[in-house]
Amino acid sequence: MTILILTGRFGAGHCSAARALRQQLLAAYPAMRVQVVDFFSYAMPGSSSEAMYHAFRMLVTYGAGIFNTYYRMSDLLADDHPAPLERPMREAMSALLREFHPDAVVATHPLCARLTAHCRRQGGASVPLITCVTDFSQHAEWIYPETDAYLVGSPELRRQLAGRGVDPARIFVTGIPVRPEFKQLVRRPVSGSRQLLVMGGGLGLVPWGEGFYKKLAAQSDIHVTVLTGGNQRLLEHLSGRYPNITAVGYTERVFDYMAQAELLLSKPGGITVFESISAELPMLLWTPTLAQERENARFLIQAGLARMAGSSDGQCVESVCQLIRDTVSLERISRRMRRRKAQLEEESFVHLVSSLGRQVS
């Protein structure tokens, strides 16, 4: 049985979800062939895809307003309206499906889901399609009638998708997929100081200047670990500068740092959110700039799983100090995360893939 998981390097979340889904399938069915493909590198090999990914990074870093405008407009378009770069990619998707001849496709990026759905609509493929929604967003970019099943992060999102016409029987509240190390994690905060973990996603995007770090450095009872991701400039700037701030470059072992922390200060990317929930690590969120992350933040605040930090350096540090020293509130948030995890149908994905594969064979 061959399963094709399609993703793209637009931030770290889509690829992280794809790898986690592959791990789930292989843990249950070691003999299964599970292939993760960066579809955009396949469709635009070499420098073309790298140029596209670079342009995306520049857009979300410096042009959030443009990105958000497109995000809002695309939610109003009919699902047969071509997305940017879609037409030249349809042929590539058809070729990919012919090459792998999968028993099922799992899409962790919305354009991958859209292109697979289009192939089915045009009669070029009959492969089952499972879409893994990597945000807490009901955006139209994820929703296509050819989709056999949706994996979503919360019961609230399941209800929202159903409200947009998706058959509830096709929606499974699995949570956003994360590596098993986060699910098996045992929290063991380092004694001596309060432990704050700061993350800016795979790109290491953090919204503060020098004043923020100086104010944190003045808190002698708080030790700060900053995961800088791909932001080499931030890593070099912070390394060795403050005695109670440790800067760490790109790492595959985020779960180790979450295990040692008492509070996470982060932007609300979908994968980071579910890594934190899996680790039962309370979150403090800085004001997000991207539209889908605003929706993620809204979900977290309403569910009592996180709090918002202030928008200025001083307000943010004050929020950190208040919450990280409030052990009662931290434990209350952790308990809510524990209850959230108990609501998930994590095993349904594995059973679903097996069932769809049997229907095809």
Quick: pLDDT tens for 269-308.
889 999 999 999 999 998 888 888 999 999 999 999 999 9
Residue tagged 């760490």 (tokens):
248
Mean pLDDT value across the chain: 89
Which structure tokens are listed for 207?
């919204």
Q: What is the structure's pLDDT at 12?
A: 78
Domains located in the chain, CATH noted: 2-175+344-360 (3.40.50), 181-342 (3.40.50.2000)
Could you tell me the pLDDT band of residue 231, with boundaries at 50, 70 and 90?
A: confident
Can you give the pTM of this predicted structure? 0.89
pLDDT > 80? residue 347: no
As a whole number of angstroms, the distance between CA 137 and CA 142 comes to 9
Over residues 310-331, the pLDDT tens digits come to: 778 889 999 999 999 999 999 9
Over residues 242-252, the pLDDT tens digits come to: 999 999 998 98
- Residue 221 and residue 193 in contact, taking contact as beta carbons nearer than 8 Å: yes
What's the chain's Rg over C-alpha atoms?
Answer: 21
Which helix (H) or strand (E) segment holds residue 122: the answer is none
Cα 341–Cα 343–Cα 344 angle in degrees, nearest 5: 70
Question: What is the average pLDDT across 152-180?
Answer: 93
Over residues 61-104, the pLDDT tens digits come to: 788 899 888 888 888 765 666 666 677 889 899 999 999 999 99
Which helix (H) or strand (E) segment holds residue 106: the answer is strand 104-107
**Phi, psi for residue 21 in degrees, rounded to 5:** -65, -40
Which of these, 321, 201, 341, 345, lies nearest to 280 by C-alpha position?
Answer: 341
